[in-house]
Amino acid sequence: MASERQHPRDTGTGISRRSLLGRTAAVAAGATALTTTAAGTASAAATRDVDVVIVGAGLAGLTAARDLVAAGKTVAVLEARGRVGGRVLNLSLANGGVTEGGGEFIGPTQDRIKALADSLGVATFTTYNTGNNLLYKDGKKTPYATDGVLGSVPPIDVAGLANAAIVQASLDDMAKTVPVDAPWTAAKAAEWDRQTFETWLRANAVVPSAKFLLDVACTSIFSAEPRELSLLFVLFYIAAAGNESNVGTLERLTETAGGAQESRFVGGSQQVPIKLAATLGDRVVLSAPVRSVAKSGSKYVVTADGVTVTAKKVVVAVPPPLAARISYDPLLPAARDQLTQRLPMASVGKAIAIYDTPFWRADGLNGQVVSDTGVVSSTFDNSPPDTSYGALMGFIEADEMRAYDAASEADVKAAVLKDYVTYFGAKAASPSSFVLQRWNNEAFTRGGPVSIAAPGVLTQYGPSLREPVGGIHWAGTETSIHWMGFMDGAVRSGERVAREVLAVL
């Protein structure tokens, strides 16, 4: 199993880790300090001097680098891992295929990740969505039809459906009043930020089956339980699931056709950051976790394992709780520091079982399950577009992920396959291979897919999300006003931070 995990190399376009890195044919196992300037001149010292140093080679950092380079600036991108992409990760399969361990879907109004992928020649294909969804509830399986126009309607009691519809409409209506660029200024921000989403749901989703549907929606969207979230944060997140001309809705977050899970990337989503990094050449330094950011005269000195970069401006493009683990001199303002103490990562993993064929399709199933039990309560058909093999992908989320953080991979696999057999029958018991990605256990993420906010955080600390501190600017999907938590938000944050830096450089 280990041989299938976390292959940083490209899986389809011939770009290798080596060519990505330029001249470093022999990359040391530890710190990798590239010694070329942005202009490509090699030197022996593990130091660089650039206009802008970027911390993190996820989509946010790489996009910022692209725009800064396009504007004629010199750039260095310091990445802690031995690969680019951050929370976007291709996993190579034993059968030669590829699947995604992190963010994988793209949908309507996610314009910026789409434009980026287009520019890099990474095509999309429609997420498999033919046939019935499956509801597994109270020990019973019920298939139900999907409908790309009106959305799917799970087969629960009429009272529950009616209640869920009212709750959904209420959330959308409230979300419409939340300014995505400043949710803390919403007219009812104080009221909504003093209670958990759970408190609100208990007062509004009063029919048990409706509460069940909303709970599943919550864990599916946030990989967090409703008790962990501020109602205001949930409303902001819903509002942010759109673009400048199209405010988000709960349905757009949860749906496949017409929603955030509509399409996927050919070759796996990590194609996008890998190809983007390739355009930056040896400006990207891998295996260089940043430890400190210190002002020195009019410049900043950014120290990573194995390499030190001086720059006029700094872009920190890592999740807030990890940004907190960098040492800053001078100290960050209290508001910024305390914000990063209050935006923990949610808890998520993905389990992908590979089969010779997507056998569930013959049973009229689209591979999408909603379940009230199991370690996996939400699945997708992750088979490749050519159907050369079948792949069932399951999310492990929130409490379920926490329960399996410390389990052996064999135990997780057994638990996941038990669920898959429950949902899809005996054939699911014997995959040809199985890959598992647990983001909580990743040194440079420690959770996922995104930071979450408990009550009080947005109203108290929200403005510090994006406010630069001297020459230090903040990026990452958590700073985006559209599609926070998604690849699109990451790209948008990179574009925004590049504009922000260029305006003051």
- Rounded to the nearest whole angstrom, what is the least distance from the CB of residue 291 to a copy of itself in the complex? 7
Q: Does 438 bind a copy of itself (CB under 8 A)?
A: yes
Distance between CA atoms of 339 and 217, rounded to whole angstroms?
Answer: 26
Q: Which residue in the set 97, 160, 321, 449 belongs to the binding site for a copy of itself (CB under 8 A)?
A: 321
| Tally of CB atoms within 10 A around 247 | 20
- Rounded to the nearest whole angstrom, what is the least distance from the CB of residue 201 to a copy of itself in the complex? 10
SS3 content of the chain, % helix, strand, coil (to 5): 35, 20, 40
- Rounded to the nearest whole angstrom, what is the least distance from the CB of residue 119 to a copy of itself in the complex? 35
Residues 280-299 that bind a copy of itself (CB under 8 A): 291
Q: Are strands 47-55 and 365-371 parallel, antiparallel or unpaired?
A: unpaired
In sequence order, the 6+-apart residues with CB closer than 8 A to the CB of 386 are none
Name the one range near a copy of itself by CB under 8 A: 112-120, 173-181, 195-203, 365-373.
195-203
Within 52-147, where are the H helices? 59-70, 111-120
Nearest to residue 306, comparing CAs of 60, 10, 32, 7? 32
Q: Which residue in the set 335, 421, 502, 505 belongs to the binding site for a copy of itself (CB under 8 A)?
A: 335
Q: Which residue in the set 61, 259, 455, 494 belongs to the binding site for a copy of itself (CB under 8 A)?
A: 455
Nearer to a copy of itself, 87 or 342 (CB): 342
Q: Which residue in the set 61, 390, 447, 485 belongs to the binding site for a copy of itself (CB under 8 A)?
A: 447
Alpha carbon separation from 254 to 117, 218, 259, 260, 377 (Å, rounded): 23, 9, 7, 7, 14
Residues 198-237 as x/- pattern, contact with a copy of itself by CB under 8 A: xx-------------------------xxxx---------
Alpha carbon separation from 331 to 78, 214, 344 (Å, rounded): 21, 41, 21
Q: Which residue in the set 196, 366, 382, 480 belongs to the binding site for a copy of itself (CB under 8 A)?
A: 196
- DSSP letter assigned to residue 282: G
Within 128-260, where are the H helices? 158-176, 189-192, 197-204, 208-222, 231-239, 250-254
Residues 380-419 as x/- pattern, contact with a copy of itself by CB under 8 A: -------------------x--x--xx-------------
Residues 343-382 as x/- pattern, contact with a copy of itself by CB under 8 A: -xx-x-----------------------------------
